[in-house]
């Protein structure tokens, strides 16, 4: 079996980043590749990407993880079989693992621990009830200096198992690309829904779209794989920036068997807020959500099954000033708190590394954009939500006449 390794290099790079972007193409991974790209823009980074037929890797990766459980040792198993030998040293080795299934891929780098002064892993999804199931893979993380995790309620269990510093880190977003400036831009999509959905709410929205001038975008296919993650993120964020309302629910809300009742904050909230959409849904009841989305109306809470969704939207449409405030608050808070630059800053600080000039420049750009948005708000420029309400009023008057 032939496995190639692409190493994209920058002069005097201090960071080595392992990416699975050429063997994992599911859309759920695209936002993580967005983070990787942002890191490459912000820091001097070499990015190592194994290249293998993705269908073959699905098989070898599952076989490797099964073998690791049988042997009780993940350090001896490499799902890519071949190894890449580093010929230089780095200040930091950084890898994002969407799930414990990804961890053993680190074995594809022969001498990573010897060549990298510090090592940090970002562990995206691990439910507390599954920690024992993934014990062998998680124990591999004992080789790392720091483990950052998106699931706050799983941190204690992982830290107890591996005896390494484990810290919570919120999801983030490329807040500049998702920013819908100027906020007065037209929002031609009435409601956007991606991922898991309530069939009750969906049916009510379908009926609304059929009988009214209501543009509802939703998924119609399963097993979502991206041709190119950049295309997917571009399309996704541009639809979001055109959407008035966005359905956002807590992670895996309809799958208690997967979560064990654990409630965590999904990436949807960060994406919807950054795009200035009015988010509707069921929020997670956890400290991490309260800390990240602590402004008024960050999410308008509605039931997961909402047969009266049309009435809810009509009631909100009658409050254009409230909707305009929601849009502004969502965008401004995303820019000032949830851009990827702040997450990378946190990681560098843990590794004892300084921020870069590119990071300082990005933060200054964010501040400039924020000031322009607030100036637009103070000028009294009307939002597209206000325009939509005027349109509906004129349409109703025309029908009466």
pLDDT at site 107: 94
- Prior bond of 253 cis (ω within 30°): no
Range with the poorest average pLDDT among 186-200, 235-249, 255-269, 282-296: 255-269
pLDDT at site 394: 46
Kindly state the average pLDDT of the residues 156-161.
97
Longest dimension (CA), the chain: 79
- How far is it, in rounded angstroms, from Cα 348 to Cα 354? 7
Task: Judge whether residue 366 has pLDDT over 80.
Answer: yes
pLDDT at site 130: 96
Strand order in the sheet with 216-217: 216-217, 189-192, 243-247, 278-281, 300-301
- Going from the C-alpha of 377 to that of each of 105, 179, 183, 326, 364, the distances in angstroms are 48, 15, 9, 12, 20
Task: Judge whether residue 398 has pLDDT over 80.
Answer: no
pLDDT at site 223: 83
pLDDT at site 391: 45
Task: Judge whether residue 280 has pLDDT over 70.
Answer: yes
Neighbours of 181 (CB within 10 A): 16
Kindly state the average pLDDT of the residues 91-114.
96
pLDDT at site 380: 62
In angstroms, the first-to-last Cα distance of the chain is 73
pLDDT band for 383, please (50, 70, 90 cuts).
Answer: low
pLDDT at site 382: 58
pLDDT band for 2, please (50, 70, 90 cuts).
Answer: low
22 contacts 229 by C-beta, under 8 angstroms: no
pLDDT band for 265, please (50, 70, 90 cuts).
Answer: very high
162 in helix, strand or coil?
A: helix
pLDDT at site 293: 98
pLDDT at site 350: 97
- Going from the C-alpha of 368 to that of each of 173, 337, 374, the distances in angstroms are 18, 14, 10
CA dihedral 306, 308, 312, 315 (to 10 degrees): -170
Give me the sign of the Cα torsion angle 87, 93, 96, 97.
Answer: positive
Q: Could you give the percent of the chain with pLDDT greater than 70?
A: 94
pLDDT at site 71: 87
What's the CATH architecture for 4-168?
3-Layer(aba) Sandwich (3.40)
Q: Could you give the percent of the chain with pLDDT greater than 90?
A: 83
Q: Where are the domains of the chain?
A: 4-168, 177-400
pLDDT at site 381: 57
Task: Judge whether residue 400 has pLDDT over 50.
Answer: no
pLDDT at site 76: 79
Mean pLDDT of the chain: 92
pLDDT band for 255, please (50, 70, 90 cuts).
Answer: confident
Kindly state the average pLDDT of the residues 260-288.
96
68 contacts 62 by C-beta, under 8 angstroms: no
pLDDT at site 108: 94
299 contacts 248 by C-beta, under 8 angstroms: yes
More confident call, 254 vs 13 = 13
Kindly state the average pLDDT of the residues 138-143.
96
pLDDT band for 125, please (50, 70, 90 cuts).
Answer: very high
316 contacts 278 by C-beta, under 8 angstroms: yes
pLDDT band for 256, please (50, 70, 90 cuts).
Answer: confident
pLDDT in tens, 227-242: 999 999 999 999 999 9
More confident call, 176 vs 77 = 176
């Amino acid at each position: 079996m032939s496995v190639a390794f692409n190493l994209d290099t920058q002069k005097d790079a201090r960071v080595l980043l392992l990416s699975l972007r050429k063997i994992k193409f599911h859309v759920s991974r695209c936002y993580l590749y967005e983070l990787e790209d942002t890191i490459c823009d912000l820091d001097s980074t070499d990015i190592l990407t194994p290249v293998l037929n993705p269908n073959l890797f699905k098989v070898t990766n599952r076989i490797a993880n099964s073998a690791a459980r049988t042997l009780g040792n993940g350090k001896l198993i490499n799902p890519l079989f071949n190894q890449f030998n580093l010929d230089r040293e780095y200040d930091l080795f950084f890898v994002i693992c969407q799930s414990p299934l990804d961890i053993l891929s680190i074995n594809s780098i022969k001498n990573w621990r010897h060549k990298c002064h510090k090592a940090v892993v970002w562990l995206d999804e691990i439910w507390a009830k599954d920690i024992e199931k993934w014990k062998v893979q998680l124990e591999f993380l004992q080789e790392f200096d720091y483990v950052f995790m998106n699931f706050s309620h799983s941190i204690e269990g992982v830290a107890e198992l591996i005896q390494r510093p484990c810290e919570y880190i919120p999801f983030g977003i490329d807040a500049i690309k998702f920013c819908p400036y100027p906020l007065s831009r037209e929002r031609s999509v009435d409601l956007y829904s991606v991922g898991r959905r309530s069939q009750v709410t969906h049916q009510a929205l379908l009926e609304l779209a059929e009988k009214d001038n209501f543009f509802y975008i939703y998924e119609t296919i399963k097993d979502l794989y991206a041709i190119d993650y950049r295309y997917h993120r571009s399309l996704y964020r541009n639809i979001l920036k055109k959407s008035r309302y966005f359905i956002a629910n807590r992670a895996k809300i309809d799958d208690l068997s997967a979560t064990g009742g654990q409630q965590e904050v999904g990436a949807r909230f960060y994406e919807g807020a950054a795009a200035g959409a009015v988010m509707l849904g069921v929020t997670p009841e956890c400290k991490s959500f309260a800390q990240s989305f602590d402004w008024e109306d960050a999410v308008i809470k509605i039931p997961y099954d909402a047969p009266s969704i049309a009435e809810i939207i009509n009631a909100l449409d009658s409050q254009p000033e409230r909707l305009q405030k929601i849009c502004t608050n969502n965008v401004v808070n995303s820019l000032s708190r949830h851009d990827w630059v702040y997450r990378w800053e946190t990681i560098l600080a843990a590794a004892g590394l300084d921020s870069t000039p590119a990071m300082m420049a990005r933060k200054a750009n964010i501040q400039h954009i924020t000031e322009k948005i607030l100036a637009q708000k103070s000028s009294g420029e009307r939002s597209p939500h206000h325009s939509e309400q005027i349109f509906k009023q004129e349409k109703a008057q025309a029908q009466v006449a």
